[in-house]
Amino acid sequence: MSILVDANTRAIIQGITGESGVRFTTRMTEYGSPPVAGVTPGKGGQNVMGVPVYDTVAELVREHQVDFSSINVPPAFVKDAVLEAMAAGIKKIFIYAERVPMQDEMEMMAYAEQKGVTIVGPNTPGIVSPGKFRLGGLGGAREYADQIFTPGPVGLVSRSGGMTSTIAYYLSQSGLGQSTAFGCGGDAIIGTPFKKALELFEHDPETKVVVMFGEIGTYYEEEAAEFIRAGGCTKPVVAFIAGKRALPGFRYGHAGALVQRGFGSYESKVEALRAAGVRLAATLQEIPELVRQALAVPQAG
Amino acid sequence: MRLLEYRGKQLFARIGIPVPRGRVATEPAQAEAIARELGVPVMVKAQVLAPSRGARGGILPADDAAAAAQAAAQLLGRSLGEEVCREVLVEERLEIAQELYAAVTIDPIRHDILFLLSARGGAEIEKIFAEFPQDVIRHNHSPLEPFFPFHGRQLARAAGLTGGAVGGVGQILFQLYQAFREFQAKLVEINPLVITAKGQVVAADAIVQLDEDAAFRVRALKELGIPMEEERPRAPTARELEAIEIDKKDYRGVVHYQDLDAAGDIGVVSVGSGFSLTLLDILDRYGLHPANFCDCSGSPPASKVYQAVKLVLSIPGIRGFLFMSGVVTQDLTVTAQGIVQAFQELRPQIPFVVRLAGNRDREAYELLQAGGITHAFPRKALVETCVEKLRTLMREQERKQQAAS
For the packed helices A102-115 and A78-87, what is the interaxial angle rounded to 10 degrees? 10
- Asked if residue A122 has a cis previous peptide bond (ω within 30° of 0), the answer is yes
CATH number at residue B29: 3.30.1490.20
Say yes or no for a CB contact (<8 Å) between B106 and A106: yes
Work out how many domains chain B is built from and give that number. Answer: 3
Where does B136-259 have alpha helices with state H? 149-158, 164-182, 219-223, 238-249
Same structural domain for residues B319 and B271?
yes
Same structural domain for residues B162 and B25?
no
Strand B59-62: give its sheet, edge to edge.
Answer: B22-25, B88-92, B42-46, B59-62
Report how far residue B342's alpha carbon sits from residue A183's, in angstroms, rounded to the nearest whole number: 33
Q: Which of B195, B226, B257 is the last residue of a domain?
A: B226
Residue of B nearest to A250 (CA): B233
For residue B214, the chain A residues in CB contact (below 8 A) are: 101-104
Task: Decide if B324 is inside a domain.
Answer: yes
Same structural domain for residues B295 and B336?
yes
Model ipTM value: 0.93
Task: Decide if B155 is inside a domain.
Answer: yes
Is B127's Cβ below 8 Å from some Cβ in A?
no
Domain that holds residue B53: 21-93
pTM (predicted TM-score): 0.94
Other beta carbons within 10 Å of A291 = 26
For residue A137, the chain B residues in CB contact (below 8 A) are: 329
HSE at residue A79, side-chain half, CA atoms within 13 A, is 15
pLDDT in tens, A287-298: 999 999 999 975
Is B181's Cβ below 8 Å from some Cβ in A?
yes
Say yes or no for a CB contact (<8 Å) between A250 and B107: no
Report how far residue A259's alpha carbon sits from residue A62's, in angstroms, rounded to the nearest whole number: 46
For residue A255, the chain B residues in CB contact (below 8 A) are: 103, 105, 114, 116, 187, 189
Same structural domain for residues B191 and B336?
no
pLDDT in tens, A239-288: 999 988 866 555 555 666 656 667 888 999 999 999 999 999 999 999 99
Is A203 marked active-site?
A: no
Task: Decide if B231 is inside a domain.
Answer: no
Confidence of residue A301 (pLDDT cuts 50, 70, 90): very low
Same structural domain for residues B145 and B100?
yes
Contacts of B328 (CB under 8 A, 6+ apart): A162, A165, B271, B272, B275, B297, B357, B358, B359
Same structural domain for residues B222 and B254?
no
Task: Decide if B195 is inside a domain.
Answer: yes
Same structural domain for residues B302 and B219?
no
Q: Which of B93, B113, B133 is the last residue of a domain?
A: B93
Confidence of residue B232 (pLDDT cuts 50, 70, 90): low
If you average pLDDT over residues B370-391, what whole number do you get? 96
Q: Which of B226, B253, B268 is the last residue of a domain?
A: B226
Task: Decide if B232 is inside a domain.
Answer: no
Largest interatomic CA distance in chain A = 57
Question: Could you give all domains of chain A from N- to C-terminal order, each with its CATH number?
Answer: 11-120 (3.40.50.720), 126-296 (3.40.50.261)
Tell whether the model's pLDDT for residue B201 goes beyond 50.
Answer: yes
Residue of A nearest to B125 (CA): A254
Say yes or no for a CB contact (<8 Å) between A257 and B143: no
pLDDT in tens, B324-351: 999 998 899 999 999 999 999 999 999 9
Say yes or no for a CB contact (<8 Å) between B187 and A256: yes
Task: Decide if B9 is inside a domain.
Answer: yes
Q: Identify the active-site residue in A245, A251, A254, A261.
A: A254
Task: Decide if B233 is inside a domain.
Answer: no
Alpha-carbon separation of residue B355 from A173, B304, B325, B338, B385 (angstroms): 17, 18, 6, 14, 10
For residue B125, the chain A residues in CB contact (below 8 A) are: 254
Same structural domain for residues B66 and B152?
no
User: What 3 state SS string does B304-371 have?
Assistant: HHHHHHHHHHCCCCCCEEEEEEEEECCCHHHHHHHHHHHHHHHCCCCCEEEEEEECCHHHHHHHHHHC
pLDDT at A249: 59
Burial class (CB in 10 A: 0-12, 13-18, 19+), B135: middle
Same structural domain for residues B57 and B101?
no
Same structural domain for residues B363 and B343?
yes
pLDDT at B169: 98
Same structural domain for residues B219 and B118?
yes
Task: Decide if B167 is inside a domain.
Answer: yes
CATH number at residue B208: 3.30.470.20
Say yes or no for a CB contact (<8 Å) between A248 and B233: yes
Same structural domain for residues B146 and B122?
yes
CATH number at residue B334: 3.40.50.261
